[in-house]
């Protein structure tokens, strides 16, 4: 297969779709096709391409090796800022995902430590306010219906901008009403009015409710029951009950359960076992059992394992007790059994014991073990050598084209693997935790929301420091 | 059709649209991530916005939706409005099914299309089951792991029925590609949910044989190993009591190839209280690589040690497993 190392920018075929189309099947394979299945053949083809890259790395001089493992910051920033300013006509298929484009680009820039001009920042705030619906929530573009996924993207973009103007531009009252309108009787959420129900919808709703401090019992009720029904016999979490365990939904389901303080209701030992087995010989992660490696799962799977590092005491308790009788154990270590902690209407200050302040407490727990459960250096190798496009941007796998989605999630995955040996999420990693020069180090994130950690703190101060909304 | 690329006629030159005033997109003064729309895209969307805002439920509105969807099938607002129009017109849902199937075949990884298909199938009722199942099979012929199509198939089975041949279908797909984890997942769905098979309890023994057979022919294939564990997910005591399970581990270990998944299952058995026969102990003993490993350590400990060496990608995981073995394991 011919594959040009210089790939032009091209949008993914669908949005927040964890699974992009695999490359067409090659017929000139030297194996006996009759003895191999489709899965096996496609896997071998990818393994060969990746092995070739690693062979070149191994045979390279120390100087070339360093260059190969370098993060090409300037080129990435150039690629990202170009997209912020102008996108070609073939991006029309992302016309209902423009807040996503903002988030993928702005979050990637923030990971790279790049700050924006005040005029650019104001343009983003202004544009997103054009996507905001009068009845609450953000749509995929001006005049479109509000949608949970683009609401998540818009809110995370504004939090990443971080200024008072950005944070105060969100209409929290109407957003809260929008979230309630999207709540289904099953406990889960719909993506939009009369839209599809799945675990992404649950995560995006709860993530914004949590970070904006508009969480309440009505949003949480029944949600944990729904997510539990999505944990499959394999251990990972599916998009909806009965479907196949999947990296993207596993992250969304796990993060949701942490944010509503019911994570101990998942069976964590089998979830961990499933996730760690998704890292393959290519060094990157696949999204599902026996599927091909893909750079975006560096975050969906790597991010889950980053969360797991903080949750290990709960997982360990589950390993010690029989499978069928898992006691309720909250992040605070008591066994309340109810979700009542999540709502705590009286507390309006920034206390650290509040149940509705889990995003904050999660970071402060400080119980992370010193080593991640996955091979974080190998993951960096996949991202830097197989996903990185030297002209800027990241891609799914060798032979694929770069896009903003993969740029965002490859960088986010690179970030969680760089900090995976840090005792606290923001302490500088030891050099053994890093692949390539130390200058590759990205800014640390809050893994529950995937926004920069210091931007999270800023938002926390802003939304939890203020008086809580009167309606709760 | 008007949407053909060469002969596209602007709405402003179509007499039947002369009464409609297009509504431009309000991007604000300094938009970010602006897309350089083609004239066709811009004008189609301007007319769509106009009828969406006026709420016009007409056949021309329906055909405008079709043109707009053709330009961007992931615009959920258009799909939503399309459903409102269809309901208001009491439109022919069979024609709609032809329409959406045609688009789904060209855009098989799009959330909006599959949501529309699910809405439509539920409206058409049980008589639609067979055709919907056949349609997903058409998708699987090209992409046997299409996540949306599998979700659709499951929702059709649960809402409309058609379970009778589902286990055979899973078997067919697994015969074609035993690594197809989506087919294994579907198989699990069928044996636990089908109203005709008696549930997991009835199926457990025969499914164990099915998984064991798949493991013996491809021990590196993770899917049947996870399936086998899954059959006993809620009842680990049955798992450790079933000789077929420990025997398949033993057989693979004796081959001394592709041992990771066998050791991993054996480790789980031990963690659940399994008492190994001496043959298993010696098979594991024969795999020990590191001489520094004290032979007095428990079997579970030894297994974690071996896994840490033969499965370096997960050495941290195996070290963690080793340090948190339940106190009473062998
Ligand atoms: Zn991807």
* CATH number of the structural domain spanning residue A396: 1.50.10.20
Residue ranges covered by each domain of chain B? 1-91, 252-330
Domain-embedded: residue A313 = yes
Per-residue confidence (pLDDT) for residue B291, from 0 to 100: 61
Nearest residue of B to residue A98 by CA position? B33
Domain-embedded: residue A166 = yes
Domain-embedded: residue A428 = yes
Whether the pLDDT of residue A11 is over 60: the answer is no
Nearest residue of A to residue B155 by CA position? A242
- pLDDT (mean) for A289-317: 96
Interface of A with B in 32-91 (CB under 8 A): 37-40, 43, 83-89, 91
Domain-embedded: residue A351 = no
Reported as a pLDDT band with limits 50, 70 and 90, residue A268 is very high
Angle at A36 between CA A31 and CA A42, to 5 degrees: 80
Helix (H) / strand (E) containing A67: helix A62-68
Domain-embedded: residue A173 = yes
Domain holding A86, by residue range, is 73-326+358-468
For residue A388, give the 3-state DSSP assignment. Answer: strand
Interface of A with B in 301-320 (CB under 8 A): 312, 316, 319-320
User: Which residue positions in chain B have pLDDT lower than 50?
Assistant: 1
**pLDDT tens digits, one per residue of A52-99:** 999 999 999 999 999 999 999 999 999 999 999 999 999 999 999 999
Q: Is this model's pTM higher than 0.95 or not?
A: no
Per-residue confidence (pLDDT) for residue A24, from 0 to 100: 33
Per-residue confidence (pLDDT) for residue A423, from 0 to 100: 81
Structure tokens at A429: 């990693």
DSSP H helices in B19-58: 39-54
Q: For chain A, how many structural domains are there in total?
A: 1
Whether the pLDDT of residue A404 is over 50: the answer is yes
Per-residue confidence (pLDDT) for residue B293, from 0 to 100: 62
C-beta atoms surrounding B91 within 10 Å = 14
Say whether A239 and B151 touch across the interface (CB within 8 A): yes
Domain-embedded: residue A344 = no
Angle at B117 between CA A223 and CA A149, to 5 degrees: 40
The beta strands (E) that lie in chain B are given as none
Residues in CB range of B63: below 8 A, 6 or more apart = none
Shortest CA distance to A88 belongs to which of A15, A8, A149? A8
Say whether B27 and A130 touch across the interface (CB within 8 A): yes
Say whether A98 and B33 touch across the interface (CB within 8 A): yes
Mutate to test the interface with B, among A54, A99, A243, A300 (most CBs of B within 10 A): A243
- pLDDT (mean) for A40-45: 95
Nearest residue of B to residue A249 by CA position? B147
Per-residue confidence (pLDDT) for residue B7, from 0 to 100: 86
**pLDDT tens digits, one per residue of A347-393:** 333 333 344 689 999 988 766 777 899 999 999 999 999 999 999 99
Distance CA A185, CA A169 (A): 31
Mean pLDDT over each residue of chain A, to the nearest integer: 87
């Amino acid at each position: 297969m011919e594959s040009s190392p210089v790939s032009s920018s091209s949008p993914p075929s669908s949005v927040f779709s964890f699974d992009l189309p695999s490359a067409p099947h090659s017929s000139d394979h030297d194996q006996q096709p009759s003895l191999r299945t489709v899965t096996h053949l496609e896997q071998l083809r990818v393994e060969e391409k990746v092995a070739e890259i690693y062979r070149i790395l191994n045979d390279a001089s120390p100087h070339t090796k360093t260059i190969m493992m370098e993060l090409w910051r300037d080129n990435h920033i150039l690629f990202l800022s170009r997209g912020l300013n102008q996108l070609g006509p073939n991006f029309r298929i992302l016309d209902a995902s423009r807040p996503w484009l903002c988030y993928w680009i702005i979050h990637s820039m923030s990971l790279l430590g790049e700050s924006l001009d005040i005029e650019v920042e104001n343009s983003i705030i202004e544009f997103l306010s054009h996507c905001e619906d009068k009845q609450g929530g953000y749509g995929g573009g001006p005049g479109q219906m509000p949608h949970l996924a683009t609401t998540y993207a818009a809110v995370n973009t504004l939090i990443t901008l971080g200024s008072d103007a950005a944070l105060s531009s969100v209409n929290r009252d109407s957003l809260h009403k929008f979230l309630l309108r999207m709540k289904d009787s099953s406990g889960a959420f719909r993506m939009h009015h009369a839209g599809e129900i799945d675990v992404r919808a649950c995560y995006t709703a709860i993530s914004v409710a949590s970070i904006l401090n508009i969480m309440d019992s009505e949003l949480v009720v029944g949600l944990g029951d729904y997510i539990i029904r999505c944990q499959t016999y394999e251990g990972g979490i599916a998009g909806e009950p009965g479907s196949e365990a999947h990296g993207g939904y596993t992250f969304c389901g796990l993060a949701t359960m942490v944010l509503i303080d019911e994570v101990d209701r998942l069976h964590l030992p089998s979830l961990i076992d499933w996730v760690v087995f998704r890292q393959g010989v290519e060094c990157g992660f696949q999204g599902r059992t026996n599927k091909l490696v893909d750079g975006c799962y560096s975050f969906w799977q790597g991010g889950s394992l980053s969360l797991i590092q903080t949750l290990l005491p709960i997982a360990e308790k589950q390993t010690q007790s029989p499978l069928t009788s898992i006691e309720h154990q909250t992040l605070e270590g008591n066994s309340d059994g109810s979700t009542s902690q999540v709502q705590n209407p009286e507390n309006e200050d920034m206390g650290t014991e509040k149940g509705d302040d889990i995003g904050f407490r999660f970071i402060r727990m400080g119980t992370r073990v010193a080593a991640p459960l996955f091979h974080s250096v190998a993951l960096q190798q996949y991202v830097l050598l197989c996903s990185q496009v030297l002209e800027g941007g990241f891609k799914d796998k060798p032979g694929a084209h770069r896009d903003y989605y993969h740029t965002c999630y490859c960088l986010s995955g690179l970030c969680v693997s760089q900090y995976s040996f840090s005792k606290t999420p923001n302490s500088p990693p030891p050099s053994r935790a890093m692949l390539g020069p130390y200058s590759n180090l990205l800014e640390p994130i809050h893994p529950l929301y995937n926004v920069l950690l210091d931007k999270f703190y800023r938002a926390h101060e802003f939304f939890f420091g203020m008086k809580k909304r009167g309606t709760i | 059709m008007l949407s053909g690329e060469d002969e596209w006629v602007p709405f402003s030159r179509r007499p039947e649209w002369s009464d409609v005033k297009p509504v431009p997109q309000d991007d604000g003064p300094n938009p970010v991530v602006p897309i350089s729309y083609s004239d066709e895209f811009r004008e189609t969307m301007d007319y769509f916005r106009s009828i969406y805002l006026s709420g016009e439920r007409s056949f021309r509105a329906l055909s405008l939706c079709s043109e707009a969807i053709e330009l961007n099938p992931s615009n959920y607002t258009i799909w939503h409005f399309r459903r409102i129009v269809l309901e208001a017109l009491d439109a022919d849902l069979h024609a709609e099914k032809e329409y959406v199937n045609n688009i789904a075949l060209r855009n098989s990884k799009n959330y909006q299309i599959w949501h529309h298909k699910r809405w439509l199938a539920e409206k058409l009722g049980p008589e639609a089951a067979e055709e919907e199942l056949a349609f997903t099979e058409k998708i699987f012929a090209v992409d046997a792991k299409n996540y949306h199509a599998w979700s659709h198939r499951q929702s059709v089975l649960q809402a409309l029925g058609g379970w009778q041949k589902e286990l055979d279908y899973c078997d067919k797909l697994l015969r074609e590609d035993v690594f197809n984890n989506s087919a294994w997942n579907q198989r699990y769905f069928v044996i636990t949910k089908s109203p005709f098979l008696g549930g997991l309890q009835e199926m457990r023994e025969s499914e164990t044989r099915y998984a064991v057979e798949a493991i013996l022919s491809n021990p590196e294939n993770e899917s049947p190993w996870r399936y086998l564990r899954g059959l006993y997910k809620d009842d680990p005591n049955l798992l450790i009591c079933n000789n077929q399970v420990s025997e398949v581990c033993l057989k693979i270990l004796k081959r001394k190839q592709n041992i990771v998944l066998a050791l991993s299952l054996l480790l789980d058995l031990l963690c659940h209280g399994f008492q190994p026969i001496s043959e298993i102990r010696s098979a594991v003993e024969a795999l020990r690589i590191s001489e520094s490993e004290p032979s007095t350590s428990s079997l579970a400990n030894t297994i974690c040690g071996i896994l840490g060496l033969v499965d370096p990608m997960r050495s941290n995981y195996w070290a963690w497993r080793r340090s948190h073995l339940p106190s009473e394991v062998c």
